[in-house]
Amino acid sequence: MLKPVSLPPRCRCPANPASLPTGREHPWLAPLAGYSDLTFRILCREYGAAVCVTEMVSAKGLVYSGAGTRDLLAAAPEDQPLVVQLFGSEPEFLRQAVEILREAGYGWFDLNMGCAVRKVMRQGAGAALLDDPANALAAAKAMLAAAGRGRVGFKLRLGVSGEYSGPALTDLALRLQDMGAGWLALHPRTARQGFSGQANWDAIARLVHKLSLPLLASGDLLTAEDGLRCLDLTGAAGVMYARGAMRNPAIFAAHRALCQKGSPQKTAPLHDMILRHMALARALGSDDRALRKMRSVIPHYARSAPGARALRDAICRCANWQELEGALAAFFRIP
């Protein structure tokens, strides 16, 4: 058995709540590889995200102190409630990873059973676990033993191949529920589909009626109106925004306004949102890395604005924050 390792103080998570909020008025931020870092999570929380999930963290990489693994776990007092998403196929590494994280103060965990990236699936992890239910359940048991009942969720897809097998998914979901899962999240596409085609919200609705634990819906939730329509059609316990949040973090404010007032509230101008993200990036990240990240993020935010391509080209040439601010001011015609 490997000797457990400790996380450095800067990664230590503050006290976490006794339960996670679910329900119509509590939208979650999905785990987004390469995207949902501490900076982005705090931005989404400022707009109303009720729960955030980290980027996908390798259980084996964490146990072996892999380079870069721990940067994904940076947390802050305002970054709560926080769920750490792990991936892996070996129950022992998943158990040890949860124990390390528990020792560091993290309290909520998720096992990725939906990632369709080939290099992840080749390890038997991600969506590949759906083709090996015995190992999937062994991994779930190991994580729940380390974390405690109700403190682990599971992100699922419909299956691996193009042929959706409803009974197999339902059986896995029910067994995870019986083992003590706290929640499930379903992206209703197969791994082979990736993000192509249309999300099968009917599959969410069918699974909702089989379960007593919360089922969160994902897939094709690009606007707050999509999120509320999905909730109405499926009866899911909540929604988990992914691509919709990547394109516009204010989706959480719009979602809450729709729930409370029946119409989306007017949000801050796009320029203000970008400047806030930049300010958080500079405060919370290393300068060079934060600048590179913002140069890749801003085009997502401005993709629908006239002249977005010219902005992207200008941003790619920015070598420092002052040049980036100047490019934005010119694009938005701010004196």
Averaged pLDDT in 10-residue chunks for the chain of 335 residues = 43 67 95 92 96 96 83 88 96 97 94 93 94 96 97 94 81 97 96 87 96 96 96 97 94 93 72 92 83 90 86 91 92 77
d(CA 83, CA 273): 25
For residue 116, what are its two tokens?
């369709």
Tell which CATH architecture fits domain 9-261: Alpha-Beta Barrel (3.20)
Do residues 111 and 135 touch, judged by C-beta distance below 8 A? no
Residue 92: helix, strand or coil by DSSP? helix
| Domain residue spans of the chain | 9-261, 270-331
**pLDDT score, position 158:** 93
**pLDDT score, position 49:** 97
Helices and strands, number each (H, E), in the chain: 14, 9
**pLDDT score, position 3:** 36
Say how many Å lie between the first and final Cα of the chain, rounded: 62
CA angle 78/82/85 to nearest 5° reads 145
**Amino acid type, 288:** D
Residue 182's Cα: distance from chain center in Å?
16
Do residues 215 and 193 touch, judged by C-beta distance below 8 A? no
d(CA 253, CA 271): 17
Q: Tell me the Cα Rg of the chain.
A: 20
Which candidate, 191, 324, 303, places its Cα nearest to that of 244?
303
Residue 168: helix, strand or coil by DSSP? helix
d(CA 255, CA 112): 25
**pLDDT score, position 68:** 78
219: left (phi over 0), alpha (psi -120 to 50) or beta: left
**pLDDT score, position 159:** 87
pTM above 0.85, yes or no: yes
Backbone angles phi, psi at 27, to 5 degrees: -70, 145
